[in-house]
Structure 1
Amino acid sequence: MSHANAALTVRARLRLARLIVEQGWSPARAAERYDVSWRTAAKWAQRYREHGEAGMADRSSRPHRQPNRTPAPLVRKILHLRRKRRWGPVPIADELGLAASTVHAVLTRQQANRLTHLDRVTGEPIRRYEHRTPGDLLHVDVKKLGNVPDGGGWRYLGRAQGKKNRHTTQGAARNRHHQPVMGTAFVHTVIDDHSRVAYAEIHDDETAITATAVLRRAVDWFAQRGVTTRRVLSDNGSAYKSRLWSSTCAELNITVKKTRPYRPQTNGKIERFHRTLADGWAFAKLYTSEKARRAALPAFLHDYNHHRPHTAIGKLPPITRLNNLSGHHT
Structure 2
Amino acid sequence: MNSRDKNLVIVRSVLDQGLSIAEAAARFSVSRQWIHVLLARYRLEGPAGLEPRSRAPRTHPGATPEPLRQEILRLRRSLTADGADAGPLTIAWHLEQAGLHAPSTSTIRRLLHAEGLITPAPKKRPRSSYRRFQAELPNECWQADITHAFLATGRRVEVLDFLDDHSRYLLHLRAAAAFTGPMIVDAMNTLITTNGAPASTLTDNGLVFTARLAGRKGGRNGFEKLLQAHRIRQKNGRPGHPQTQGKIERFHQTLHRWLDARPRPETIEDLQDQLDQFRNRYNAARPHRATGRRTPEQAYTALPKATPDTLAEREWRTRVDTVDRNGKVSLRYAGKMRHLGIGRAHIGEPILMLIHDDQVTVTNAATGEVLAEHLIDPTKDYQPALERTHRPRRQKPPPDPTANPRKKA
Higher share in helix: 1
Higher share in strand: 2
Larger radius of gyration: 2
